[in-house]
Amino acid sequence: MALNETFPRDYSLTGPLNTRAQQIGLANAEWYKTPIPRARMKELMLRSDGPATRDTIIWIGLLILTGGLGAYTWGSWLAIPFFIVYGVLYTAGSDSRWHECGHGTAFKTPWKNDVVYQIACFMEMRNPVAWRWSHARHHTDTIIVGRDPEIITMRPPELAKVLLNFFGVLDVPQSLAAMLRYAASNINAAERDYIPQSEWPKMIFIARIWTAIYAATIASAIYMGSVLPLMLIGLPRMYGAWHMLMTGLTQHIGLAEDVLDHRLNCRTVYINPFSRFVYWNMNYHVEHHMFPMVPYHRLPELHEEIKADCPPPYRSFWHAYGEIIPTLARQLKDPTHFVHRYLPPGAGPAKPGPLMQAAE
């Protein structure tokens, strides 16, 4: 627990913990990195168009196939399995692809990253300008309270919100409201903290294009007297959200806040091949945060390079959630509780950050 800390904490980017994080050296700090020979690091960071082109063709092909079969069988029970798979590919697939292409590492060719990034952001309902800057802050100040705009659960956790978002019940309306707000040139105080003013016109322009697309989709549904157009555009972000949450919640939840060591606030989890394809290897999350410029298809190799310096990976989703669920339950009564990740013998010393050092 941090020294003199009170709960619930103020996680907003406009509150006093933002200022404090900057004053005590938690903001824009230097993070621990596992030593890797320079030549090997350059090799791992080498970009290629091949893997991402292959995986993108497969992803788009599966979207066309499952979406087409879902539309063809619409009105019968046969449509259900097709739309289940389509929803996962649409929502979880676009979530990982905006993420990797936003880093600029998925493809070697910049315009390919940009095109897939724009498409995936639309599918995910995340403004590509706002989220590029939000995610940059997330990597700079990972799970630093008052600084990181992408902290999913606070302490104590609001479990009802987490459960509702397995079907996008809260975050989809919030995303649509943000789209309309941007389209009306309204940028809130938290966004002004991490999005440069020079980027606002681009963010507003994109939001207006998206508003027109969604308006046309809704108009098509009304004209056809069928929800089918929305089953293909928009609604998958809700009925397909469960897989995105299932993978995404394993990343940081229940782990340490306000530390400067990704081994202490990220999880690496071994998962099944289908989920790894959809998730684009983001289950190697310690590795990704420690070295974010390594392309997704090289993360298994990076894992082998650093695993002796890291806590043991989780063996499966079940293993990870076997820790996460009891942790969240305990945090309802004791918000100071979190999972301590222990480093193996011979690992580099942990970098817990100034607050935890003061508390020891």
pLDDT tens digits, residue range 183-204?
999 999 999 999 999 999 999 9
Tell me, what DSSP letter sits at residue 284? Answer: B
Tell me what percent of the residues of the chain surpass a pLDDT of 70: 97
Residue 278 belongs to domain spanning: 16-359
Domain count, the chain: 1
Contact between residue 105 and residue 47 where contact means Cβ atoms under 8 Å apart? yes
What is this structure's pTM? 0.94
Nearest Cα to 204, choosing from 192, 186, 177?
Answer: 186
Residue 196 domain-assigned?
A: yes
Kindly report the backbone phi and psi dihedral angles of residue 324, in degrees, each rounded to the nearest multiple of 5, phi listed first.
-65, -50
Handedness of CA 284, 287, 292, 296 (dihedral sign): negative
- Does a cis peptide bond (omega within 30 degrees of 0) precede residue 201? no
Residue 8 domain-assigned?
A: no
Residue 186 domain-assigned?
A: yes
Per-residue pLDDT for 3 more than 50? no
Average pLDDT taken over every residue of the chain: 95
Tell me the pLDDT band of 357, cut-offs 50, 70 and 90.
Answer: low
Per-residue pLDDT for 2 more than 80? no
Residue 294 domain-assigned?
A: yes
* pLDDT at site 327: 97
* pLDDT at site 4: 54
Helices (H), the chain: 16-24, 38-44, 50-72, 79-103, 110-124, 128-140, 159-164, 171-183, 189-194, 200-224, 228-232, 236-239, 241-248, 262-265, 273-279, 285-290, 299-306, 317-333, 354-359
Residue 2 domain-assigned?
A: no
What tokens appear for 168 in the block? 């996008």
CA distances from 171 to 163, 167, 174, 179, 218 (A): 11, 9, 5, 12, 19
- Pairwise CA distance, residues 258 & 2, whole Å: 8
Give the bridge partners for 284, in sequence order.
268
Tell me, what DSSP letter sits at residue 87? Answer: H
Contact between residue 276 and residue 250 where contact means Cβ atoms under 8 Å apart? no
pLDDT in tens, 204-234: 999 999 999 999 999 999 999 999 999 999 9
- Pairwise CA distance, residues 73 & 94, whole Å: 24
Residue 339 domain-assigned?
A: yes
Total Cβ atoms within 10 A of residue 91:
25
Residue 132 domain-assigned?
A: yes
- Sequence-ordered list of residues with C-beta below 8 angstroms from that of 188, at least 6 positions apart, any chain: 181
pLDDT in tens, 33-77: 999 999 999 999 999 999 999 999 999 999 999 999 999 999 999
Give the bridge partners for 269, in sequence order.
314
Residue 227 domain-assigned?
A: yes
Packing angle between helix 241-248 and helix 79-103, nearest 10 degrees? 50
Kindly report the backbone phi and psi dihedral angles of residue 286, in degrees, each rounded to the nearest multiple of 5, phi listed first.
-60, -45
pLDDT in tens, 276-328: 999 999 999 999 999 999 999 999 999 999 999 999 999 999 999 999 999 99
pLDDT in tens, 96-121: 999 999 999 999 999 999 999 999 99
